[in-house]
Structure 1
């Protein structure tokens, strides 16, 4: 499997996994710990993740950042490098607003603490750990797993 997956196929798998479980860890490169946020995707803006958060959130100041993702099944991992910036465009907020976001902001879209952050992805490293049946047998019996039995890996400039 690993040898035939193109970087674009691995990136498409990432987007599908992120749609299924949009929870990521985001941290600014300037220091401090990463924290969990819920990614919002806009198909019209590839290579961008959006986050609704409070203006008082440690990420809200923006800057160079890293985002890490682990899929629900722990079979896909991603590390994204990019820049966080405020994007309080009302049309974008309206487009991405949903019941889950509303639960966090009692004042709705007019909540004074609400801010929309955008994370523009500069590069990504993606791992799909779909070990083949023969690889799983080797794991059980202590054999050596070849790269074609283990996983897909891609370093990409675009997840689109």
Structure 2
């Protein structure tokens, strides 16, 4: 069933779906080439912005100061949840934000800790998203597909829609 959301309801829906997945493919387009790399979502704030850590020594950390257009792809096949988020990325120079976002798991990627001079905060200001969410079990989805084949209809795919995150 198609369900679109606007503004605060869209942000609430994004947070409810993406925060449980935590990992996304951070996708950029540069020099005629699409590039994706896995990133760990640290937070989705009350405005729908998505926050990450990265290193100045990476392409993302080195080249993102120009509000680069990005797409974040979240996928959880076990729960049949998929999200595509569009927005613009920028490095945020803020020691306070670094402190707020730091968690013990971040040390795996940044062994020098939150004081690592190469650690930077990356903010994706979101514009819109699309989601597909079927909380049904795989067996329910499978039988829905069989029914569709036998009846010549389209299978019930759960909820899907657009999230307009810009008010």
Q: Same fold (TM over 0.5)?
A: yes
Match of 1:99 in 2: 104
Shift of 1:90: 1.1
Report SS of the residue matched to 2:59.
Answer: coil
Greater strand fraction, Structure 1 or Structure 2: 2
Q: Which runs of 5+ in 1 are unaligned?
A: none
CA distance in 2, matches of 1:22, 1:78: 12
Match of 2:53 in 1: 52
Q: Note if 1:151 corresponds to 2:151.
A: no
Q: Which runs of 5+ in 2 are unaligned?
A: none
| Count of residues in correspondence between the two structures | 156
RMSD: 2.8
Contact 1:11–1:126 (8 Å) recurs in 2: no
CA distance in 2, matches of 1:29, 1:154: 24
Distance 1:13 1:42, change over 3 A: closer
CA distance in 1, matches of 2:141, 2:109: 44
CA distance in 1, matches of 2:140, 2:37: 37
CA distance in 2, matches of 1:156, 1:6: 6
Contact 2:21–2:74 (8 Å) recurs in 1: no
CA distance in 1, matches of 2:83, 2:140: 25
Q: Of 22, 35, 38, which aligns to 2:37?
A: 35
Contact 1:18–1:71 (8 Å) recurs in 2: no
Match of 2:75 in 1: 70
Match of 1:119 in 2: 124
TM-score (normalizing by structure 2): 0.78
